[in-house]
Amino acid sequence: MSAGPLDGVRIVELAAIGPAPFGVMLLADLGADVVRVDRIEAARGNPGVAVAMRGLSRGRRSVAIDLKSGQGVDLVLRLADTADVLVEGYRPGAAERLGIGPDVCLGRNPRLIYARMTGWGQDGPLAMRAGHDIDYAAIAGALHPIGRKDTPPPPPLNIIADFGGGGLYMVIGVLAALVERASSGHGQVVDAAMVDGVASLTTFFHGLLATGAWTTDREANLLDGGAFFYDTYETADGGYMAVGAIEPQFYAALLDGLQLEPADWPQFDVTRWPEQKRRLAEVFRSRTRAEWTAVFEGSDACVAPVLTLTEARDHPQIVARDTFVDVAGAPQPAPAPRLSRTPGGVSRPTPEYGEHTDAILGEMGLTADEVRALRAANVVA
């Protein structure tokens, strides 16, 4: 396996939940050497909500440190002294109160990239408020357009704000700061806020609004279920098919597969969309998902079966590209995107909390006796 494009980049991750672990996982997949600082309670069998992050924890080593102790804070600062990147996902001001904020860390290591992952950002009237993915998407305007017109907007999983607007945008910031540091020699703070990232993800729709090609009504537009040729339909066996036949040639292939007469199915007569959707729903309910999949096999109609999380792993396209890999006996999505010369990969499985405490402290120059003393004082575990 290639060392990856981030080989030699050292990251210190202060354990958090949600988007920060996802973003750090992506950086680890790209070859970064990641040391995660876990709560000492986690190493003693009480991980709390952090246990939900285990699926995002591959590619790290773990050291368990009590950040409420002065000695523990000193250990984290020493880790940051030799790091390229530090990632924290606390509320604004929390890292400063612990004594490991950006001013302190950058004062000791001016080349450090200090990445801060929050929901609302480091400032503004909501900065100190709690929130979750659904809240950030709501305030950023990304939640309202999703869903049917006669029902409330549905929770869109936490892909949108946590992982899309949060973790991915944090990674963009970290990579950009690393590139800039190569010429300036200086680190900087990356303020990654989920609400900012989600707003950025809606750029396309703001552009459509500005040209009159989009309305704020749900299920009334081309891509929100308003168009009958861009929607999902239930099949005879309770499955679903996804239809995305926008371009004329793809729409023609859709009608051909459904054995519908083109003259009876004008594509862009918006006044007919509701009726056409009802009729198309009846057509799709006439066969099973497997039967419709077979009908559109090899077609450019842009029709696909809606697969479950487990079914997706066995689809021929997914299998052909090795889109899933085995990590310690469990299937997980493979690193993405793929690089031709330095592709990276999963370097190690999910660590146990504090699994590498002794090794990491030893790399920092601490003797075995010093590590035992810290453990006896409940500074590390």
Report which residue type is found at 99: G
Is the separation of the CB atoms in 363 and 83 below 8 Å? Answer: no
Beta-carbon-side half-sphere exposure of residue 351 (alpha carbons within 13 Å): 22
Q: Exactly one of 7, 132, 256, 315 is catalytic; name it.
A: 132
For residue 121, CA distances in Å to 96, 128, 157 come to 15, 9, 21
Which listed residue (38, 162, 191, 231) is catalytic?
Answer: 162
Evaluate whether 237 touches 282 at the Cβ level (below 8 Å): no
Q: CA-based Rg of the chain, rounded to a whole angstrom?
A: 25
Strands 85-88 and 60-65: unpaired
Q: CA 216, CA 211: separation in Å to the nearest integer?
A: 13
For residue 150, the surrounding DSSP H or E stretch is none
The residue with tokens 């969309």 is 273
Question: In the annotation, is 132 catalytic?
Answer: yes
Catalytic residue flag (residue 269):
no
Report, as residue numbers or ranges, the catalytic residues: 132, 162
